[in-house]
Every structure is written in structure tokens, then in C-alpha cells.
């Protein structure tokens, strides 16, 4: 989707974003847009700055320079709190509560509809485990409880940090299907991954390396531009042309 002057405003607009962590520069003046109602994949090797970028978007990262605008407001604005769902890499669930109890609790905190816990439990494929305590779930199941919590209240923007890590291929496929359905219904999704083969499921890709953006394109555009057969090869070709 193009963002012409007449087109819809992007869900996320970032210019000159510079971040240092622990005294070291991590993001070096990033410029990017994320269009509304799309699934954008944020791809890049471990340590390239994906989580730092996502933290800047949800407004929990101290930034050195630049502008981060989310849904028309500066990142971190109080008004955005109920409009964004954020899945961190570490599942945040209460081990001594069941799946349903966890989600009822988070729904109450968020003021989400009372029917939401059932809906999101089904969406992430945990209905059969709904009465199990979270401490007894597998790592992948616990991660899905966290994902379900991010879906409560049907946020306009979902920021998901490696939501499919450690999941089997069937579940990964089902979750990507869910992400596409959410985008079709109008939500905007920004999904990080270091698994390049997930890229084909995205409408758009942001390829990062060493705190810089290598490319922002559709999967097809990226392959056409690099002449590569897959996103992995496209990434390597872009790395080769910049290093």
C-alpha cells in the first residue's frame, strides 16, 4: 500500500529514531512507516535491534533522538494505552492461575468485554487447556496465553515480539492465518521474527541489520529487486551490497 499525500495516515511513522542502550548505539536514525490494516514483518538477525524498535513504538524505550508517532499520537501517550496490544518475548502470565483465570484478570484490568477471554483463548488454540494452571503448560502454550492477552480488547495495533518462536509448524501456520484475519478486519500488526520463511506471510517487510533498516518492501518487491529466490537470499544479497 502506498502512503501518498491523499492516502490514509500510517499506523506508525518513525523518523530519525536513534537509541542507545547501556551506553552503546543500538538504533541509528531509523525512518519507516507501517501502513494501517496490514501485517508487517520485522526481520533481522539476533541482536540487530528489533526488540528495541518495538519497545520504542510501544513507548517504553528511552530514545536519544527522532520521532515515533503511533496511531496519530506520540509513542507512549496515555491515550494509546488501550489501543495497542504488546507481546513481549518473555511470557507474562500468572503460573498459579488457569488460562481462563489469567485472561479474565487481564480483561478486567483492561476493561475488555466479558466475552473476550473465551474469544482470545479460542483464537490462539488453547480451548482444550483453558482450565489448566499456567505453570503446568508447555513454554509454547504459555507464550500463547501471553499472545491471547495481547488480543484482549481488539487493539488497533498489535506489536508482537517473536510470537511464533518455539511453536510447531502447524501452530505457526494457524497463528499467521490469525494475524492475516486480524489485519483483514482492520487491525495493524507489526510482527518480529528471525525466521525468514515467515516473511512470505507478511504484506510488507522491514529488514534490519546492526540497528539500520536494510529494506522496507513487499516480499515480492524484495525478491524482484534482489533477484533472489527467497527472503533469506534477498537478505544476504542486501547485506552483500552494503558491507
Ligand X SMILES: Nc1ncnc2c1ncn2[C@@H]1O[C@H](COP(=O)(O)OP(=O)(O)OP(=O)(O)O)[C@@H](O)[C@H]1O
Closest CA relative to residue 210, chosen from 70, 24, 69: 24
Q: How far is the CB of 157 from ligand X (least distance, A)?
A: 18
Q: Closest distance between ligand X and the C-beta of residue 63, in Å?
A: 13
The reply to whether 80 sits near ligand X by the rule CB under 6 A is no
Candidates 1-9, 47-55, 126-134, 135-143; binding stretch for ligand X (CB under 6 A): 47-55
Among 13, 21, 173, 225, binds ligand X (CB under 6 A): 21
Using the rule CB under 6 A, give the single segment among 39-47, 80-88, 142-150, 215-223 that binds ligand X.
39-47
Nearer to ligand X, 22 or 227 (CB): 22
Rounded CA-CA distance 232/162 in Å is 17
- Is residue 26 a contact residue for ligand X (CB under 6 A)? yes
Cβ at position 72, least distance to ligand X in Å? 25
- Site for ligand X contains 47 (CB under 6 A): yes
Residues 69 and 204: their CA atoms lie apart, in Å, by 19
Q: Which three cell numbers mark 85?
A: 496490544
Q: List all residues 6 or more positions away from 185 whose beta carbon is below 8 Å from its beta carbon.
A: none
| CA distances (Å), origin 141, targets 108, 118, 136, 178 | 22, 16, 9, 16
Stretch that binds ligand X, among 20-28, 101-109, 128-136, 147-155 (CB under 6 A): 20-28
x/- mask, ligand X, residues 170-199, rule CB under 6 A, reads ------------------------x-----
* Dihedral of the alpha carbons of 223, 227, 233, 235, in degrees to the nearest 10: -60
- Supply the minimum distance, in Å, between the C-beta of residue 47 and ligand X: 4
- Tell me whether residue 25 or residue 37 sits nearer to ligand X (CB atom): 25
Q: Give the list of residues 6+ apart from residue 70 with CB closer than 8 angstroms, or none.
A: 11, 12, 57, 58, 59, 77, 80, 84, 157
* x/- letters, 48..77, toward ligand X (CB under 6 A): xxxxx-------------------------
Piece of the chain touching ligand X by CB under 6 A; list 8-16, 21-29, 77-85, 101-109: 21-29
Q: Does 35 bind ligand X (CB under 6 A)?
A: no
- From 40-48, 70-78, 104-112, 147-155, span contacting ligand X (CB under 6 A): 40-48
- What are the residues binding ligand X (CB under 6 A)? 21-22, 26, 44, 46-52, 194
Amino acid at each position: 500500500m502506498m502512503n501518498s499525500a491523499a492516502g490514509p495516515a500510517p499506523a506508525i511513522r518513525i523518523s530519525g529514531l536513534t537509541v542507545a542502550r547501556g551506553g552503546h548505539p543500538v538504533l541509528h536514525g531509523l525512518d519507516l512507516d507501517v501502513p494501517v490494516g496490514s501485517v508487517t514483518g520485522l526481520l533481522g538477525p539476533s541482536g540487530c535491534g528489533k526488540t528495541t524498535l518495538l519497545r520504542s513504538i510501544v513507548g517504553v524505550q528511552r530514545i536519544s533522538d527522532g520521532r515515533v508517532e503511533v496511531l496519530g499520537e506520540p509513542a507512549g501517550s496515555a491515550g494509546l494505552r488501550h489501543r495497542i496490544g504488546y507481546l513481549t518475548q518473555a511470557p507474562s502470565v500468572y503460573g498459579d492461575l488457569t488460562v481462563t483465570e489469567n485472561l479474565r484478570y487481564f480483561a478486567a484490568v483492561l476493561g475488555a468485554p466479558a466475552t473476550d477471554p473465551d474469544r482470545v483463548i479460542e483464537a490462539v488454540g488453547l480451548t482444550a487447556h483453558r482450565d489448566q494452571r499456567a505453570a503446568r503448560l508447555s513454554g509454547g502454550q504459555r507464550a500463547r496465553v501471553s499472545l491471547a492477552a495481547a488480543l484482549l480488547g481488539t487493539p488497533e495495533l498489535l506489536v508482537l515480539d517473536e510470537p511464533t518462536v518455539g511453536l510447531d509448524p502447524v501452530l505457526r501456520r494457524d497463528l499467521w492465518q490469525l494475524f492475516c484475519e486480524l489485519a483483514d478486519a482492520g487491525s495493524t500488526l507489526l510482527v518480529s521474527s528471525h525466521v525468514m520463511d515467515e516473511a512470505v506471510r507478511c504484506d510488507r517487510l522491514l529488514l534490519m541489520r546492526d540497528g539500520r533498516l536494510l529494506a522496507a518492501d513487499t516480499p515480492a518487491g524484495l525478491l524482484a529487486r534482489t533477484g533472489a529466490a527467497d527472503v533469506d537470499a534477498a537478505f544476504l544479497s542486501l547485506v552483500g551490497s552494503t558491507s
